[in-house]
Every structure is written in structure tokens, then in C-alpha cells.
Structure 1
Amino acid sequence: MLSSSNKKIKIITAPGFADDVINEMKSDLPSLLEYYVDETVNWEFEHETDPLTGSTENAREILEAILENAQEYDNTFLICLTDLPLFHNSNVVVAEAYEKKNIALLSLPALGSTPMIKRIRASIIQLVNEMYRGVTDEDQQKLRDKIEEAAKDGLRIVNGYILVSKKGLERFSPVRRETPQNGEENIDVRFTIPSRYLGGLRILPGMVRANRPCRMFPSFIKVMVVAFTTGTYALIFPTSWMLANEYETWRMIILSFVSIIAMITWIIVAHKLWESPRVETNNLKRMLYNITTACTLMISVTLFYLNLYLLFLIAVFLFIPIGMLESQVSSNVSYSDYFYIAWIITSFATIIGALGSALESEETILSATYGYRQKQRYEQLKRKEEEKKQQS
């Protein structure tokens, strides 16, 4: 255990999502650690980005790589944040801590999707507490007492959330705290989700959030222009008006779903986003990566579809007089029919105009997939190692 009154916390993150997340909270951590861990200590904070934490799916590899450089971090607590899912005996690993060397590893997807920032902040506090105080039940009870005391005083900094919390949704996906007794090296405590099914349901939203689907939306601007141009041309013909008048709501919903799925399929095929079997990636992780990619694209394409619908809705009100609509379709039409016309045109434009069009930034699309990010980081790591060899 460290003895100095000055302690340093060094957060090592993978490039991308984990890097952005820690930048949002780093200013709060010293004061939180002072309150929840030890108020007599002056906590200092450092942040470093290392591609290793995002290039391997093996928690042991990450910890061993950090242990090699542990002497460089004397009197420092090291916490690695990765956006990759980690597993132990097929169970989802949330975090691991090695008290003797003051090293911990935290998997962001295992924390779920929301509230991500609060959960990461609270998890870091608990991991530091594990390394600083120890891993006994008595030590952990001190942290719980501190959190309850803060809640009574009206503090909501951590909202009572710790890794083994059983409040709210945590009751449906509880985290188990384990202290390996089988002589396992370099691990003093591990947090896992004991149920594989619940672990999968919890980790998927976290992986989708790590892909940051909203950041993909600007890449759809070029496709949106093509789709809107195509749809606007079709808008002036009465055929689409008649179809909108005849189609029932269930048929419109199916058409929307088909158009969105068609576009997702096109993007996956055109940009080769589907993970094929590889030696370094087992079937479970490959399945998770592919489902995550599909869910990420579902969110992005749905945003594209909704924005396109709003554009067509404006166009319908501007270009189609109600009198012309009555003369071509029926005398019983009203302005509510405009919403159906915009709806059906959006679906047609997505299928006809968007399919086959290239997205504006292929790099943004590829970066939203786990396999590509890992490959990218692995190449960064190789370049970094080559530079070190040249310098030595």
C-alpha cells in the first residue's frame, strides 16, 4: 500500500470513446477521491492515451503490458479504461484490480449505456478504494458507509452507485465481486456479471454507445441529398399521393422498416463491416461485434430516415396545394394526408435514391466498428514499438 501523503492517479485510456469520456470527468476526480477514499491525501490526476488498451480483448495481456512498465509509475494508481468487452470463463468482466501493484482495469461497455459518466466515475472511486484500502469485506463496508453518509448529507456526486450496487436496473443484472482463490496471478479482485444472458443484454448497449452512432450522422449528408432529390422529383407525380391514400398504417410501417433494413444491409456490404471468422476473435465476440454494428447502424439510419421525413414533410406542404390533392385523389382528403405522403416518399427515396450511393466519410463509418478500431490501434501499437526500437 502506498505511504506518501501525495498520491497520483493515472488513467490510461484507449483512443476514441474512452478518451473522450475521461476528459469530461477528470476535473472532478481529485475532490471525489479525497471525500470517498481518504481526505488526508492530496490526490493528483494524470491521463494518458495508449492504443494497447483498445487493441486486445485479453485483460491479462493489458495488465501484463502495464506491469512491464510498472516501475515507471512508482507511487501511482494505474487504472486502464477500455471500450472493448472483456470475458472470464465466458462471463462478462466489468473490472479487475491488482492491489499489490496498484493496477486496475475497467471495461466501459460492461457498465451499460446510461448513466455512463456517473457509473465510470463511481467505478473509478471503488477501484481506487480496492487498491488503497484492500479487498476485504470490512474495507468495502467502509466505502458503503461513506456513500450512505454522503446521501444523508444530500450529496449526489456518485448517487450511491458502486460496482456491486443492487439498486434500480442493477437488480436485473447484478455484478458479482470475486476474490480469486485458485492462485490466479496478478488479480486480487474481479467484478463479473454471473449470468451470461444478462451480461450480454447489459454489454450490448454499452458497446453500441462506445460506437457513438450519432457521430456517424454527418456521413449521411451526401446520401440525404441524393435521396431528397430523388424523392422530390417523385413527389410531383400523383401516383405517390394515391398510394399514400390507399396504404394502411401497418403497410406504411412495414415499408419504413424494409427501407431502413435495406439501407443498413447496403452499408454493411458496401463498406465490408461484417466481421468474418478470424483466429484472434472467437465466435462469441465476433457475434457481439456484428450485432453491435447492426444496432449502431440502425440508430444512425433511423436518424437519417427521420430527418429525411421532416424535409419531405416541409416539401409536401410547400409544393402540393390541397385543391390539387382533392382533384387527383379524393374529395375527402385533409392536411393529415400530407403526413402520409411524406412518409411514403421517405421510404421510397431511402430505397431508390440512397442505395448505391457512397457515404461521405468512409473512415467515420469504419471507425464505428470494433474490428476496424482494433486493427487501427494494433497498427498504432506496432508503429510505437518500432519507434522505440529505433530510439534505443
Structure 2
Amino acid sequence: MSSSVNKVKLITAPGFADDVVNEIKGELPSLLEYYVDDQVKWDFEHVTDPLTGSTGDAREILESILKNVKEDEKDFLVCLTDLPLFHKSKVVVAEAYEQENIALLSMPGLGSTPMVKRIKASIIQLVNEMYYGTSEDGATRLRDKIKEAGKEGLKVVDGYLVGNKGFEKFSPVRRETPQNGEKNIDVRFTIPSKFWGGLRILTGMVRANRPWRMFPSFVKVLVVAFATGAYALVFPSLWHLTNQYELWRMILLSFISISAMVSWIIVAHKLWESPRMETNNLKRMLYNIATVCTLIISVALFYLNLYLFFLIAVFLFIPIGLIEAQIGTEVSYQYYFLIAWVITSFATIIGALGTALESEETILSATYGYRQKQRYEQLKKKEEEEEAEH
């Protein structure tokens, strides 16, 4: 039976981190009892703080949380941010200030692996680090518990911070004890390789942007593009073009149409990060690459759905005998797939590029720069309210 209570406060940036914690916080008390200490009861509190998502300076986050949020010396604080963190050009996955029981976890540092599972595992390890301090007993106990859980078929922390499975083999996370008298930090988890660290954090940033959530904004574009393409679909000139196109030309046309739409969205909605004081060159480059990759995934989903609509339309409305009569050669039903492919590319370029997206807010919210701007405004408003109260 538990003899005492330990309080863990999860502080998250608004958005993705918030949603993930809401999904997992009900499981965490029992997991900490199993993996960390079953002689105490673990109590959780969840707080959303814009500062956690408005700065990429880990020290600034930790010091602010220590000053404004921590209420009891025994409380354990774990901050989750969707921003990339760096220390001397190395990607930082997590940091912990064991003396004050504060830890910071950068979600992009976890890469594109199953996010919910990795965050649960990371929180467990960070609380274990703070609970046992630098004692080897704590690390040994956690490793033993993980092995025990594996034998019992439990894989909740199978992908904890320092592992050697899957993508970890290429971008291993290293546990470091800061040197040179660094204050307010006792342990840091980094990725030594700049290449793999950069790739990992970029895929994590794209995941944090959640490109699949942008698709509803393309509904209006989808309707216009389909209407435009459906009109051209019944004309024999399209069938002749399809008959003359080689595979490389179709692939090139797809690439051009998707690239054109991505470029148009970036220009029309001013998504490209320009130099400004709050963002350094490295982060600005990462923000822009993450935006482009996010839009490529979203537009590719749009392209695939449009293709499926055209494929159905071709099968329903164009008899194969009519196609053969027009192009003067025998064709199989495979030809329908090629017609749908060509018209999808043309419809994307002609119809979609002149149409406004359904929800500009959804598109903007999927970019780091816009979310940063929103959080700066929230933080400023919060500070003004606190000053008014005093």
C-alpha cells in the first residue's frame, strides 16, 4: 500500500503537446508506480503554458518554470515543448535539473517514431532520473523493470530515451553530464551526429505540424479541381495525350503539379519565414523546411484523393470502346488508370491554383512561425494581466 504521495506536474506547449498529454495522462500514475516506485502514489496535474512553446532556449524555459510554476520542493515538473532544442549545435532531446526536480522534453527530438509511446517512455525515464538522482541504483532498477515488462509482454517503455532499437541505431541518444560548471542542469540527452540529429528533428517537426489535419482545408480546392477536370475528361484530346505520354512524363507532371500547389500556398499565405530577431538562421531554416515537407504531405494526400475521384469517374462515364475508336488502337482497362493520372495533374495545376483554401487558420497553424507568433501574443497578454493584478 502506498505510504506517500508524489505530485508530477506536466507543463505543455499549446497544440500538439497538449493533445498528446491529454491522451496519456490517465495511464501515467500506474506506469510510474510500476517502473519508478510502487511504494508511493503518483498524482498528476496538467498545465498549458505558452512559454514552453514560445522559446527554443531550454535554460529560459527551466528558469521561468522554476520561478513561476513550482509550488512545492517535492513536486516533479516535466515540460513538453514542440520546439527544437540545441546545445552547441547538437540536438537536445531532453534535459533534467535533478536538484529542483524539473525536466524538459523536446518532442521533435523524438523524431517521427510512435509519439504517444515515446513520450510515455520519456516521461517515465525523466521522472526516474529526478527521483533517484545520479544514483546508479535508479538506472539499474529501471533497466530491470523494462526487462521484466518485456518478459511479461509489456512494451510501454520499450523505446525510452537511450535505446538501441530501430532508428536509434542510426541516431543514438547519448546521456551526458554537463561540464564546465553549467548551472540548473544535471543531465542532458543529446544526439551527437549532426546529420542524423538534423534528420531526426526535422521529421519530428513535420510530425508536430500534423499535416493530415490540414486536409479539410482542401475540400473547396478539391471540388473546384474535380469540376475543372471532369469537364476536360470527356474530350478525346486528353485520351490522345495519355496515349502519347511516357511514364517519365507522367511522373514529371505529377511532380510539377504538386510543387506548383505547394509553392502557391506558401506565397499566398506568406508561410515562408523571413529573417527576424527572435529566430536564428538554423531555426528559420528548419521552420521553412518543415513547412515545405508538411505541405508536400498534405498536397500529396489531396492529389491522391483527387486521383481516386477521377478514376471512379473514368470507369463510370467513358466506355473503353469509345476510347479505342478515338485513338485507333486497342487498350485495356489499365488505360483508365493512366487517364485519371494525367487529368489529376492537369486539374491540380489549372483548377486548384486559382482557388482559396477553405480554412486559412488551419494552414497557418500547421507552421512553426505562425504558432510562435500566437504564443508570443499569449505570453504578452498573460504578463500584462499579471502586472495589472499587482
The alignment's TM-score, normalised by the length of structure 1, stands at: 0.97
* Residues 70, 101 of structure 1: 8 Å contact kept: no
Aligned residue number for residue 223 of structure 1: 221
Ranges in structure 1 where 5+ consecutive residues have no aligned partner: none
| 1:370 and 2:368 are equivalent in the alignment | yes
Aligned amino acid, residue 200 of structure 1:
G
Aligned amino acid, residue 361 of structure 1:
S
Aligned residue number for residue 117 of structure 1: 116
Aligned residue number for residue 275 of structure 2: 277
C-alpha distance after superposition, 1:44-98 (max 9, x if no partner): 0111111111011111110111111255244310000000000000100000000
Aligned residue number for residue 48 of structure 2: 49
**Residue 101 of structure 1: SS of its match in structure 2?**
coil
* Residues 11, 47 of structure 1: 8 Å contact kept: yes
TM-superposed deviation, 1:106: 0.1
In the aligned structure 1, how far is the partner of 2:19 from the partner of 2:70? 27
Aligned residue number for residue 342 of structure 1: 340
Aligned residue number for residue 146 of structure 1: 145
**Residue 184 of structure 1: SS of its match in structure 2?**
coil
In the aligned structure 1, how far is the partner of 2:239 from the partner of 2:209? 39
* Residues 266, 356 of structure 1: 8 Å contact kept: no
C-alpha distance after superposition, 1:212-251 (max 9, x if no partner): 0000000000111111111011111111111111111111
C-alpha distance after superposition, 1:106-150 (max 9, x if no partner): 000100112111111010001000100012444322211221122
| 1:164 and 2:196 are equivalent in the alignment | no
**Residue 71 of structure 2: SS of its match in structure 1?**
helix
Aligned residue number for residue 257 of structure 1: 255
Seen in structure 2, the aligned counterparts of structure 1 residues 48 and 158 have a Cα distance that, compared at 3 Å, is same
| 1:180 and 2:162 are equivalent in the alignment | no
TM-superposed deviation, 1:188: 0.5
TM-superposed deviation, 1:356: 2.3
Larger deviation, residues 132-141 vs 353-362: 132-141
In the aligned structure 1, how far is the partner of 2:229 from the partner of 2:280? 43
In the aligned structure 2, how far is the partner of 1:366 from the partner of 1:163? 31
Larger deviation, residues 288-297 vs 64-73: 64-73
In the aligned structure 1, how far is the partner of 2:240 from the partner of 2:74? 74
Aligned residue number for residue 304 of structure 1: 302
Seen in structure 2, the aligned counterparts of structure 1 residues 70 and 18 have a Cα distance that, compared at 3 Å, is closer
* Residues 264, 353 of structure 2: 8 Å contact kept: yes
Q: How does 1:1-392 map to 2 (within 5 A)?
A: 5-159=4-158, 161-392=159-390
* Residues 96, 130 of structure 2: 8 Å contact kept: yes
Larger deviation, residues 137-146 vs 50-59: 137-146
In the aligned structure 2, how far is the partner of 1:278 from the partner of 1:157? 41
Ranges in structure 2 where 5+ consecutive residues have no aligned partner: none
C-alpha distance after superposition, 1:6-56 (max 9, x if no partner): 001110000100001111111110000001100001000111111111011
TM-superposed deviation, 1:170: 0.6
**Residue 60 of structure 1: SS of its match in structure 2?**
helix
**Residue 323 of structure 2: SS of its match in structure 1?**
helix
TM-superposed deviation, 1:334: 2.1
Aligned amino acid, residue 356 of structure 2:
A
In the aligned structure 2, how far is the partner of 1:314 from the partner of 1:266? 28
**Residue 105 of structure 2: SS of its match in structure 1?**
strand
C-alpha distance after superposition, 1:285-332 (max 9, x if no partner): 111111100000000000000000011111111221122111111231
**Residue 81 of structure 1: SS of its match in structure 2?**
strand
In the aligned structure 2, how far is the partner of 1:293 from the partner of 1:171? 27
TM-superposed deviation, 1:333: 1.7
Q: How many residues align?
A: 388
After superposition, the CA RMSD in angstroms is 1.2
* Residues 111, 201 of structure 2: 8 Å contact kept: yes
In the aligned structure 2, how far is the partner of 1:135 from the partner of 1:363? 46
* Residues 70, 77 of structure 2: 8 Å contact kept: no
The alignment's TM-score, normalised by the length of structure 2, stands at: 0.97
Aligned amino acid, residue 256 of structure 2:
V
Seen in structure 2, the aligned counterparts of structure 1 residues 322 and 99 have a Cα distance that, compared at 3 Å, is same
In the aligned structure 2, how far is the partner of 1:57 from the partner of 1:330? 64
* Residues 120, 156 of structure 2: 8 Å contact kept: no
TM-superposed deviation, 1:156: 2.2
**Residue 100 of structure 1: SS of its match in structure 2?**
coil
In the aligned structure 1, how far is the partner of 2:70 from the partner of 2:81? 22
Seen in structure 2, the aligned counterparts of structure 1 residues 294 and 71 have a Cα distance that, compared at 3 Å, is closer
